[in-house]
Structure 1
Amino acid sequence: MKKTIKVYISENNKECDQLINYLNKYNVSFLTINVTENKDALYELQKENIYLTPAIIIDDKNHIIGYHPESIDKHLFLMPKK
C-alpha cells in the first residue's frame, strides 16, 4: 500500500536539504511543503504541535521531526532490518 508522505521544510535549513536528498536517493514519492513560503501550511503544522522543520507526516498520523534516517527507514521500510 502506498503511503501519503508530506515533508514540511523551511528555507536555509541544512537538515531540510539533507532530508530531501535522502528521500530522493531512495526514490520516495512525497509532497514538499515550504512553511517559509506558505504560512497556512505553517499553521497546519502547528495545529499538530510541531514547531520545527523538517517534519514528515506519514498517512496523516505518523510524525518524524528533524532529520533522522533511522526513523525514516523504519517508517518507510527503506532499509532491510539488520
Structure 2
Amino acid sequence: MNREKVTIYVSDKSQTCKKVIDQLKSWDIPFQLKNITQEPGYRKELQRKGIYSTPATFIDGIEKGILGFQKRKMQVALEVQKLKRRGEISFLLGNQ
C-alpha cells in the first residue's frame, strides 16, 4: 500500500482539479482534499504558500507543489518520495 502524504487544494467546478483527483485515484494514491471554495481557511493557507490557483498538489517530502495537471511531474514526485522513504534516494542522486 502506498503511504505518500498527498494534499490537493481544489476548487468547485474545476475540470483540471477533477483530472488530478481522478489520476491519483487511478494510481491508488491516498490523498487529502482541501476545497478552497467550500472552506475559506484553505484559500488563505494556499495563499500563504504564494499560490493563488487550483489545483495545487503537495507531496510530503517534495519541496515545491505541483500546479495544474502535470501527470509526469506527479509520477516523478511520487517516485522520489517513495525512494526517500526507502532510503534509496542517494543512489538516484549519485551520492553513493
TM over 0.5: yes
* Counterpart Cα distance in 1 of 2:74 and 2:27: 11
Amino acid in structure 1 at the alignment position of 2:4:
K
Question: Which of 73, 76, 79 pairs up with 1:74?
Answer: 76
Q: Secondary structure at the match of 1:62?
A: coil
Paired residue type of 1:29: P
Q: Is the 8 A contact 2:46 2:52 kept in 1?
A: yes
Give the 3-state SS of the residue equivalent to 2:65 in structure 1.
strand
Rg larger for:
2
State the AA in 1 paired with 2:38. E
TM-score (norm 2): 0.75
Gaps of at least 5 residues in structure 2 are: 80-96
Q: Identity of counterpart residues, as a percentage? A: 27
Greater per-residue helix proportion: 2
- Following TM superposition, the consecutive aligned residue runs of length 4 or more in structure 1 with deviations greater than 2 angstroms are none
Q: How high is the TM-score relative to the length of structure 1?
A: 0.87
> How many equivalent pairs are there?
77
CA RMSD of aligned residues (A): 1.5
Q: Which has the higher strand share?
A: 1
Structure with the larger RCO, 1 or 2 (CA within 8 Å, 6+ apart): 1
Provide the rounded CA distance (Å) in 1 between the counterparts of 2:77 and 2:64: 8
Q: CA distance change for structure 1 residues 40 and 33 in 2, over 3 Å: closer, same or farther?
A: same
CA contact (8 A) 2:3 2:30 kept: no
Measured in 1, the distance between the counterparts of 2:76 and 2:26 equals: 16
Find the counterpart in structure 1 of residue 53 from structure 2: 52
